Structure 1
Amino acid sequence: MLQKQLGVAIDSIVEYLNNYSYPVYIQWSFNDYKRLLKFKNLHKKEDCFIIGNGPYLNKIDLSLLNNYYTFGLNKIYLIFDKVNLNISYHVAVNHLVFEQSAR
Structure 2
Amino acid sequence: MNCPEFTKAYNKYDGTINELELDEHFLHDRAVRESGHDTSYRLENVAAKLSTIDLNSLLYKYETDVARTIEIHFGDRLAIPHELCVGVQGITPNQVQTSTVWDRKAKN
Normalised to the residue count of structure 1, the TM-score between the two structures is: 0.22
Q: Look at both structures and tell me which one has the larger radius of gyration over its CA atoms.
A: 2
* More helix, by proportion: 2
* More strand, by proportion: 1
Normalised to the residue count of structure 2, the TM-score between the two structures is: 0.22
